[in-house]
Structure 1
Amino acid sequence: MARRALRAGAARDAVAVGLERLRTELEIPTDFPAEALTEARRAAERGPADPKAYADRSDLELVTLDPPSSQDLDQAFHLARSGSGYVVHYAIADVAAFVRPGGALDVETHRRGLTTYGPDGRYGLHPPELSEGAASLLPDVERPAVLWRLALDGDGALTDVDVRRSWVRSRAKLSYAQVQADLDASTAPEMLQLLPVVGQLRADAQIERGGATLDVPDQEVARTDAGAWTLTYRAGLPSDEYNAQLSLLTGIAAARLHREAGAGIWRTLAPARDGDVVRLRHVARALGLDWPRRVSYGMFAAGLDASRPAHAAFATEATRLFRGAGYTAFGTSANPGVPTGAAHSAIAAEYAHTTAPLRRLVDRYAGEVALAHLAGTPVPEWVLAALDDLPATMAAANQRANAYEKASVDLVEAVLLSGREGEVLDAVVVESTPSREEGREGEARATVLVDEPAVRSRIAGPADALVLGTRVRVRVVGADVERRTVALEVA
């Protein structure tokens, strides 16, 4: 008989202690220096240095679309028809209005690079006074914003771009589930009914350009009302993807302005190597999936359903095509020319991160280049001076945030399986590689996704039991909370 699992209170304590130790190990910034906090509070009280430099667009009935608990609201949007096409207004929090270049807060944001998310909360790029207060696009209050106006034709292609600083007022803070339910019930307001129309046009255009999106099972750590930890697989809603397409559209528009300005910073991803695509075709064949030779990867991936084991296995294998994203800065003394071949292969376009400045440092700089170019003014010196160092700053921040997120999930996995040795669980094989070691013929090393709790783990065992895309039963061998590891075997 399996030993009894950790009691709820002991599990809560184990996770809390483990996360605190993890933040120390990875040097996750938690508290802000006193001087940076003082600057943030004064900026929140003062607001923009020149309020008259902002156009009044509080008439736009913008809304935000985020997870229900979010208060750091970077973006708000409004959609409208215009003849046979569409107009997208996309408001971005104007973080530069609150952060003084070279000041203590600016220095601290460069040290952090990103907002870091974990099971017990987030550790912000900016203090809450700004990120969840004066700079956040919360509903029913006027906020300074970088307001984009993006004109699209009937096929969703970008035909005109405008961006300027503006006062805006969000009308509602919406959630993905709420919007999706209204869309499914045909009760969404007229403006929101355009979200799937514009979103799908942009998604189709991305695939036609040669890009792709992946529906990969995502682990999500949460807590019940009673405080117990849970681990589930989160499936993205269509409204999530449609909203993401508005962000991608803005980033593509920003990159276009960077090219025209001769300066900027792009998010880049090299094309997949031919050998990786060939390998992926072999994976599809092994899974019994029909991938016609003339069908592009993006078009094939668009038809996948991650709830089906074979599709989930294929999507997991396909993530290898999207590794190695980074940033490319240009228009500086070190990198004077506009780069060639610096697109983002998954988006199949030149692209700049510019829509999440409350949570991602680089976006503040990308927005400033676009604003300066359309205003006909030189890019600010403080922007140009920072561009060359930003790729390395963001790479380090991403590495730290990803390590924290993965280790946090590993910790919760270990806590949830602690004391359950001997239990047999259902799982899906999403990666499998036959062993090449002498004496281990007929064995394989694999990755499995356990149904409940939503544990993702490596496992070794008979190759005929660990077949890619099939279901398998696994037994819990052990769980080490201190080391954040779990051990499974084929049952």
Structure 2
Amino acid sequence: MPRRQIRVTGAAEAPLRAALGALRARLDVPGAFPAAVLAEAEAAAKAPRLPARDATDIPFFTVDPPGSTDLDQALHLAHRPDGGYRVHYAIADVAAFVTPGGALDAEAHRRVLTLYFPDARVPLHPPVLSEGAASLLPGRPVPALLWRIDLDAYGRRVATDVERALVRSRARLDYAEVQEQIDTGTAEEPVALLRDIGILRERLEAERGGISLNVPEQEITASDHDRTYTLEYRAPRPADGWNAQISLLTGMAAADLMTAAGTGILRTLPTAPSGAVARLRHSAKALGIDWPHHVSYAALIRALDPRDTRHAAFLQDCTTLLRGAGYTVFDGGKLPDPAVHAAVADAYTHCTAPLRRLVDRYAGELCLAAAAGREPPEWVRTALPALPDEMAAGTRRAGTVERECVDLVEAALLQDHVGEVFDAYVIDVHDRDPAIGTVHLEDPAVVARVEGGTHPLPLGERLRVRLTQADPGRAKALFAPA
């Protein structure tokens, strides 16, 4: 599911970048890889464990942000001769490079996730693997987990298989290229079918009550000469959502394989409490978003336009409903409760990003075993019980990084405007002290704390607020009623 994404560009020595560097040090973010890990990665890159099947004849392509080199997934889409569609989805085979119990494996368990900062990322695996030998970069054979998922004419899954295979991507595309090719009618069939299958899967998602949040990306641009910053949203394209549907499809197929086999690890999310949805209704009102009581949350989300700043802000706020997600291990055929992911509205697991997420390597092995009708490897069974706690700790760290980065970005944006008055909406009020709450500025699109007033804040209404502090790395943005 989506995270709030923020990028920073501009002056290399800008104050925001310095504050981000200090943040990494304060949070004890992993730094350089130990020498033993790098040596093991170098050796593995030269001599991976190769699969028996050669599937390099399938013309795969990848879809990722511009400049990406840690490519977890490649796909090929086609019509089936008897009707419907065939999805070939190749996932980087990290287990072909990582030896269980080795230095590389231990370091991955220490890091758990790739961490994303606005100006940099801290990878799960050494770049020689994550951006080199294990990445599905075009033009060379790479070991992969090859999924074959057959769909009927309505996009419903009718057959699933997964095996190890050698694959070769033919093209590295970004979302803008895919969108342009599809919009102009110049896309070859495997790319053009991304729209057709994506739309069918989105319809099925709506039917089952699932929700995909099209969360915009915020970009902060630093001026090279006057230490000022500008903020803008970059809305996701339809192609982003269609591509995400292929990943969701695979995650649901993987969950079904594991549940049928009786052993696995699921990504679960309980239904959001009614109070959380009620709070979002107040937020919608404050942002001028019409949400009739007869319209469900899922239906409202699908009607929003992430290019609209108010809608973009609301979509950012909606990510609060994803709190409580976790990983649940099951064995002996006894499924957890809940066994579904409330936002997906189905059983689901993470298995499509093993270069960036530890759990996906294990989910992939469990699916391979289930598809072949055999028991999972012992190294998988041994590690499985501890994985939920490991992933929870890594997710908490990633969440802290995200929150701290948001605070830094907003403080950087506003640091030269302390004392100025802004138009805002009150989108949340503290339960114990109604004079404390949260406001969303009309311009720029900042969400921040407001306090210091003597009267209860008017939830869902406009309020003039004065910026009282903003200093990246020292003081987050804070407002008071004007």
18-27 or 414-423: bigger deviation: 414-423
Q: Which moved more, 1:73-82 or 1:413-422?
A: 413-422
The corresponding residue for 1:152 is 151
Supply the distance in 1 between the matched residues of 2:348 and 2:187 (Cα, whole angstroms).
31
The answer to whether the Cα contact below 8 Å between 1:147 and 1:164 also exists between their aligned partners in 2 is yes
For the residues of structure 1 that align with 2:321 and 2:446, how far apart are their CA atoms?
23
Deviations 1:90-127 (A, max 9, x none): 00000000000000010000000000111221111000
Q: CA separation in 1, counterparts of 2:103 and 2:210? A: 40
- Between stretches 218-227 and 267-276, larger displacement belongs to 218-227
Residue 5 of structure 1: aligned partner: none
Aligned counterpart, 1:35:
36
Tell me the equivalent position of 1:482. 473
Give 1:209's aligned amino acid: R
Counterpart CA distance in 2 for 1:485 and 1:241 is: 33
Q: Is the 8 A contact 2:436 2:449 kept in 1?
A: no
Match of 2:357 in 1: 360
Counterpart in the other structure of 1:69:
67
Structure 1 residue 281: deviation in Å? 5.5
Pick which of 443-452 and 381-390 moved more: 443-452
Task: State the identity as a percent.
Answer: 49
Distance verdict in 2 for CA 1:266–1:205, change over 3 Å: same
Deviations 1:127-147 (A, max 9, x none): 000000000000111111101
Asked if 2 retains the 8 angstrom alpha-carbon contact of 1:344 and 1:351, the reply is: yes
The match for 1:344 among 341, 364, 373 is 341
Q: 2:117: which partner in 1?
A: 118
Partner of residue 19, structure 1: 20
Q: CA deviation at 1:481?
A: 2.7
CA contact (8 A) 2:424 2:465 kept: no
The offset of 1:273, in angstroms, is 2.6
1:429 aligns to 2:411 (yes or no): no
Task: Tell me the distance in 2 between the aligned counterparts of 1:91 and 1:229.
Answer: 40
Does the aligned pair in 2 maintain the 1:444–1:466 contact within 8 Å? Answer: no
Matches within 5 A, 1:200-279: 200-221=199-220, 231-277=231-277
How many Å separate the matches in 1 of 2:400 and 2:416? 26
Matched, 1:405 2:402: yes
1:230 Cα deviation (Å)? 5.2
Letter in 2 for 1:162: D
Offset of 1:313 from its aligned partner?
Answer: 5.8
TM-score normalised by L of structure 2 = 0.88
Q: Aligned pair 1:370/2:362, yes or no?
A: no
Q: What is the Cα deviation at residue 290 of structure 1?
A: 4.5
Question: How far apart, CA to CA, are the structure 1 residues paired with 2:44 and 2:70?
Answer: 17
CA displacement at 1:153 relative to structure 2: 0.7
Equivalent in the alignment of 1:451: 443
Change in Cα spacing, 1:223 to 1:88, as seen in structure 2 (3 Å) is farther
C-alpha distance in 2, partners of 1:71/1:379? Answer: 30
Q: Deviations for 1:169-211, whole angstroms, at most 9, x for unmatched residues?
A: 1111111112112222222222211111111111111121121
Distance 1:165 1:371 in 2: 8
The residue identity in structure 2 corresponding to 1:161 is T
Q: Is the 8 A contact 1:118 1:405 kept in 2?
A: yes
Q: Structure 1 207/480 Cα, relative in aligned 2: closer, same or farther at 3 Å?
A: same
What is aligned with 2:78?
80
Structure 1 pair 313–436 and aligned structure 2 pair: CA distance change class (3 A): farther
Is the partner of 1:487 in helix, strand or coil?
A: strand
Tell me the residue number matched to 1:107: 106
Q: 1:394 aligns with which of 388, 391, 396?
A: 391
1:385 to 382, 388, 402: 382
Query: 2: distance between equivalents of 1:282 and 1:416?
Result: 26
CA contact (8 A) 2:269 2:338 kept: no
Instruction: Find the residue that maps to 2:349 and give its secondary structure.
Output: coil
Q: Tell me how far 1:88 sits from its aligned partner.
A: 0.6
Is the CA contact (8 Å cut-off) linking 1:119 and 1:222 kept in structure 2? no
Code of the residue aligned with 2:32 in structure 1: it is D
Cα shift readout 1:327-353 (whole Å, capped 9, x = no counterpart): 001227xxx733353100100111110
CA–CA distance in structure 2, aligned partners of residues 485 and 276 of structure 1: 25
Q: Counterparts in 2 of 1:169-188, with a 5 A limit?
A: 169-188=168-187
1:415 partner letter:
A
2:247 alignment partner AA:
S
Structure 2 match to 1:56: 54
**Paired residues, what number?**
469
Secondary structure of the residue aligned to 1:12 is coil
Aligned residue type for 2:123: G
**SS in structure 2 at match of 1:205:** helix
The Cα shift of 1:278 comes to 5.4
Letter of the structure 2 residue corresponding to residue 447 of structure 1: V
SS of residue matched to 1:79: strand
Deviation at 1:457, TM superposition (A): 1.7
Show structure 1 runs of 5+ residues with no match.
Answer: 1-7
TM-score normalised by the chain length of structure 1 = 0.87
CA contact (8 A) 1:314 1:430 kept: no
Conserved 8 A contact 2:87-2:150: yes
Letter in 2 for 1:12: E
Distance in 2 (CA, whole Å) between partners of 1:96 and 1:319 is: 32
SS at match of 1:359: coil
Are the counterparts in 2 of residues 313 and 431 from structure 1 also a CA contact under 8 Å?
no
Q: Give me the whole-angstrom Cα distance separating, in 2, the residues matched to 1:279 and 1:487.
A: 21
Structure 1 vs Structure 2 CA RMSD: 2.9
Indicate the SS of the match to 2:13: helix
> Partner letter of residue 170 of structure 1?
S
Once residues 445 and 31 of structure 1 are traced to their aligned partners in structure 2, the CA distance between those partners, rounded to angstroms, is 40
Residue 164 of structure 2 corresponds to which residue in structure 1? 165
Q: Is the 8 A contact 1:343 1:350 kept in 2?
A: yes
Contact 1:434 1:463 in 2 (8 A): no
